[in-house]
Chain A
């Protein structure tokens, strides 16, 4: 989101620079430019007329409901972007202690190893997110054959991951395990 905000700010600043330069030319009547001709020069005659009538409508308190909706939506979008800009970015690495971190990839590799140690798990998809507080948020989706006891497997995979991460010392603050029944022909491993 920060990148999106930055792009918007860059575009706004570029437009301000262009407008500033144009205003200097037109304000001082340099090279025969006149401010009244600006919309025609830019090919925005229609837009300039619409804008002028819109401003007149605002002054006369004569807006239609669609205008209110559009203005409200623009204000809301600006508010959302402002709040997102103030929000601190999500860290890229998982914090362990003060000044010590582990990469999300390293955590993912360990979780995959612990999950696929179970002979009934054919494939695992692991998503690791770093948080501002110590510990990782880990989402595990383990693919098993149809007809397996999913609640038992969910508990086994959870225990296995917790024990393994506890042994290597990777802190996990939130572990979600999901068991998905899959066709073995579509998984990484067919038989174990």
Chain B
């Protein structure tokens, strides 16, 4: 049994390691993070009943956003110790060499 902070770290690493994920989101009105002693993990909110993951997708997309989110959810679900994972796509980040 790992604590919330360790779980959040593992989930964050898994999400960031997914192709198509640019970075973690930080929430809009309230910060999306898991807090621990002297540390916080931004982009992952661990609740007793669920884990919410905020991501920023890389643009141009290699697949539709719902597919990317579903792929992240499947990968993240392996690390959430049975808690349902919820993926929130916060934004799309355009690569610098994209002339949009």
Contacts and interface: CB of A to CB of B under 8 A. Distances in A.
Interface of A: 93, 96-97, 99-103, 105-106, 109-110, 113, 167-171
B10 interface: no
Contacts of B100: 113
Contacts, number: 62
B90 A100 contact: no
Contacts of A106: 89-92
Contacts of B66: 96-97, 100, 169-171
Chain B, interface size category, equals: 20 to 34
Interface in B72-100: 73, 84-92, 100
Contacts of A101: 69, 86-89
A102 B88 contact: yes
A4 B86 CA distance: 29
B17 interface: no
A144 B28 CA distance: 32
28 contacts: A96-B89, A97-B69, A97-B70, A99-B73, A99-B86, A99-B87, A100-B70, A101-B69, A101-B89, A102-B69, A102-B88, A103-B25, A103-B28, A103-B91, A105-B28, A105-B91, A106-B89, A106-B91, A106-B92, A109-B91, A109-B92, A113-B100, A167-B64, A168-B64, A168-B92, A169-B61, A169-B66, A171-B66
Given A96-B66, A96-B69, A100-B66, A168 B91 contact: no
A97 B88 CA distance: 11
A137 to B, nearest CB: 17
A169 B67 contact: yes
Contacts of B19: none
Contacts of A105: 28, 90-91
